[in-house]
Amino acid sequence: MAYDVVIRNGTLVDGTGAPRFRADIAIAEGRIAEIGTVTDGAKQVIDAADLIVSPGFIDPHTHYDAQICWDPLISCSSWHGVTSVVMGNCGVGLAPCRPEVQEVAAWDLVNVEAIPIEVLSKGISWDWVSFPEYMQAAQKRGAGINLGFLAPLTPFRHFVMGEESMDRAATPDETGQIAALLREAMQAGALGMSTTAIPQHIGYQARPLACRQASRDELKAYANVLKELGRGAMELALTATAGEISDEEYDLVDFLLTESGRPVTWLGVISRDDKPTAGPDMLRKTEPLIKRGGVPQVTCRPFVIQIDLRNPFIFANHPSWNPVFNRSVEEQMRVYRDPDFRRAFRTELETPRIFSGKWERLEVKEVSNPSLKPLEGRTVAEIAAERGKDGLDTFLDLALEDELRLQYTIVLFNANEDLIPDLITDPRAMIGLSDGGAHVDMLCDAGYCTYLLGTWVRDKQVMTLERAVERLTTEPARFFGIQDRGRLAVGLAADIAIFDANTIGSGRRPEMRYDLPGGGRRLVMPAQGVQYSLVNGQVLYAEQQHTGALPGQVLRAGGL
C-alpha cells in the first residue's frame, strides 16, 4: 500500500525509556501504521539518517489562551519539537466570558501573565461565551499543534458572581452554578481544572484573582466534579515557587487530592543558591502527597527574566506596589518617586518574596535614554556604589530617568545550574514550567525541551537521551490522560519530532521581536537542531520551515 508519509533510516527513541533502535515509520490517516522495515512507498518520504525520531514533546504548563487567537503556529513552542500544549493553568483564562466583562478577563491576563493590554485588545477574537464554545472556536480557527485546555477557575467564578468574585466566597447556590459550568467544560473534553494560591496573582484593578477567594467548600464541590466523572487532573500554583511549601499549602494539595481523587500537579520545585537543599527538601516533605498522585513541576533552565517598571509583575505580592498596577506612566512615576512608597518597599524587602533584594543580580539590559547607555550590562549594585546610593533608590531612579522604558534582567531561580540536575533527574517531579505565551516581554522558556536535550543530555550527560525523551513525552501524556500520544507505537497519533542530537538546543537568553498584534514586542527563543515536526501525520516543519499545514487538533479528555 502507499502510505501518506514514511520516515526512513531514523534512530527511534520511542518515549517509553527503552533503548533506541533503527527503524522506519509509516504513517497513514494521521496515525502510525507501521514501525520496522517499511517497503511500501509513500506520498512523502523523509530521510532521517543520522537523526533521532521521537514522539512530539508535550508541554504541560503554558498560557497560550489568548495567543491561539492570532498565532496558529503557537510559537515559539512549536519551533522546539513541541506538538501538544496544555493551557488554562494557574486559574486564569478567557472562558467562560460574557461580552460585557471581556475587559475583566483581559486584565486578569495582563496582571497574572504579563501580556500587554494593547496586544490583547487587538488580538483576542472573542468568538465564544461558554467554555465549550471556546474550545470549538479554537478547533475551527485551526492550529499547527494540538491544544489541550484546563478549565481555569477564575473566569468560571466571574461568570456566575460578577465582580464580587474578587471579593468573597461563593454562596452555596453560586457554588452549584459554578460546579455545573465546570462539569459542562469537563464533559466537553477539558483536561481538568486549575487554580492558584499565590498572593502575587492579582487580577482586574489589582484586586485578588477571583479563584483565590474560593472557600474550601467551593473547592470541595469543584474537585468532586472530577471525582464523579472519574477523569481529569488539577493544576495548582503555590508560593512554593520560592523553593518551599508552607503547611497551609501542603494541606491544600492534600485536600484537593482527597476531594478529587485525581492527580494534582503544583508549581513548583526550584533551586536556590542561598539554600541549596530547598528543592530536595520540598520533595522529601511532599513525598506523602506524591505517593497519592501529587506531581510537582520543575524547570530545567535558569529562570532568567527581563523586567521593567511599567509592568512590575514580580512585585505584585508586595502590598506597597498595588498602586502602580493598571495605571498610566505618569501615575506610576509619581508613586516611584514617593518617599513613603520607597520606605514601605524597603520594609517589605526585609521579608523577601520572589525578589530577594539582591541588587548585584539585577543588570541593566537595555535603555532608551542615550545618557544611560554606558550603564547597559552593569548591575544595580555597581551603579549604586558609584552613585553613593543604596540599591533600592538606584533601581527606582534609573527607571525614572528612562521614563520606565529601562529593561532589567535578573536570574530569579535556578541561578546555580549545578543544583538543577538533582531536580530534573528526580522521578517524583514532572519537567515543565515553560509558561509559554505568558510574560511575553519578560522571559521565554518555551525552548525548555531542546535545552534539556542539548544542555543536560548531550553536553553535561546528566541523563540518557531515552530518559529525557520519556520525561518530555510519556510522562506529561500520562498525567493528563492523553492516551493516544506521547509514544511511538502503531495505532497512536503520529506526533513526531525529528532532530539532530549533535546540534539540538536553545540559547540561554531569548531575543526580542516586535510581532505581536499592534506591533507589540515579545521575547522568543529560536530552536536549533529540530529538523522536522509532524502533527497528526502531517509535516508541520520541514528543515525548520513551516510547510503551511495546520494539522493541530483540540485535545479532549476521554477521546471526546
Average pLDDT over residues 427-439: 94
Task: Output the nine-digit C-alpha cell for 280.
Answer: 530536595
Q: Residue 236 in contact with residue 212, Cβ under 8 Å?
A: no
Scanning 147-297, the segments in alpha helix (DSSP H) are 153-161, 172-187, 216-229, 247-260, 278-285, 287-291
Residue 193 has φ and ψ, to the nearest 5°, of -135, 165
* Entry field: residues in the chain: 560
Q: Which strand (E) or helix (H) includes residue 534?
A: strand 530-535
Rounded to whole angstroms, the Cα distance separating 146 from 436 reads 14
- What's residue 206's pLDDT? 80
Query: Which residue(s) pair with 554 in the sheet?
Result: 147
Rounded to whole angstroms, the Cα distance separating 355 from 345 reads 11
Confidence of residue 314 (pLDDT cuts 50, 70, 90): confident
- What's residue 340's pLDDT? 97
- What's residue 243's pLDDT? 61
In this predicted model, what pLDDT tens digit does every residue of 457-494 receive, in sequence order? 999 999 999 999 999 999 999 999 999 999 999 999 99
| Region of poorest pLDDT, from 18-22, 198-202, 238-242, 426-430 | 238-242
Q: Which strand (E) or helix (H) includes residue 34?
A: strand 31-36
Percentage of residues in the chain having pLDDT higher than 90: 81
Confidence of residue 242 (pLDDT cuts 50, 70, 90): low
Q: How far is CA 250 from the centre of its chain?
A: 22
Task: Output the nine-digit C-alpha cell for 279.
Answer: 528543592
**Where do we find the cell 525529528?**
498
Q: Report the phi/psi class of residue 193: left, alpha or beta, with left for phi > 0 and alpha for psi in -120 to 50.
A: beta
**Nearest to 353, CA basis, from 247, 279, 243:** 243
Confidence of residue 119 (pLDDT cuts 50, 70, 90): very high
Residue 275: DSSP 8-state: B
DSSP sequence for 63-127 = -TTTGGGT-TT-TTGGGGTEEEEEE-GGG--S-S--GGGHHHHHHHHHHHH---HHHHHHH----
Average pLDDT over residues 145-173: 97
- What's residue 558's pLDDT? 63
Beta strand pairing call for 52-55 and 42-47: unpaired
Rounded to whole angstroms, the Cα distance separating 396 from 414 reads 25
Is residue 50 packed enough to be buried (19+ CB in 10 Å), middle (13-18) or exposed (0-12)?
A: exposed
Task: Output the nine-digit C-alpha cell for 390.
Answer: 543604596
Rg from Cα positions in the chain: 23
How far CA 105 is from CA of 100, 117, 126, 332, in Å, comes to 10, 11, 11, 23
Confidence of residue 304 (pLDDT cuts 50, 70, 90): confident
Report the amino acid identity of residue 59: D
Average pLDDT taken over every residue of the chain: 94
Rounded to whole angstroms, the Cα distance separating 436 from 81 reads 14
Residue 458: DSSP 8-state: I
- At the topology level, CATH places domain 57-302+414-504+514-530 in TIM Barrel (3.20.20)
Q: How far is CA 373 from the centre of its chain?
A: 33
What ranges do the domains of the chain cover? 57-302+414-504+514-530, 307-410
**Nearest to 274, CA basis, from 244, 304, 249:** 244
Sign of CA dihedral 200, 205, 210, 215: positive
Average pLDDT over residues 55-61: 98
In this predicted model, what pLDDT tens digit does every residue of 73-88 receive, in sequence order? 999 999 999 999 999 9
Q: How far is CA 447 from the centre of its chain?
A: 11
3-class state of residue 543 by DSSP: coil
- pLDDT value at 434 more than 80: yes
- pLDDT value at 126 more than 80: yes
Count CB-CB contacts under 10 A for residue 133.
Answer: 15
Is residue 514 packed enough to be buried (19+ CB in 10 Å), middle (13-18) or exposed (0-12)?
A: exposed
Task: Output the nine-digit C-alpha cell for 200.
Answer: 502575587
Confidence of residue 374 (pLDDT cuts 50, 70, 90): very high
**Nearest to 261, CA basis, from 217, 229, 218:** 229
Percentage of residues in the chain having pLDDT higher than 70: 98
Rounded to whole angstroms, the Cα distance separating 20 from 14 reads 7
Beta strand pairing call for 82-87 and 31-36: unpaired
- pLDDT value at 505 more than 60: yes
In this predicted model, what pLDDT tens digit does every residue of 92-110 receive, in sequence order? 999 999 999 999 999 999 8
Confidence of residue 268 (pLDDT cuts 50, 70, 90): confident
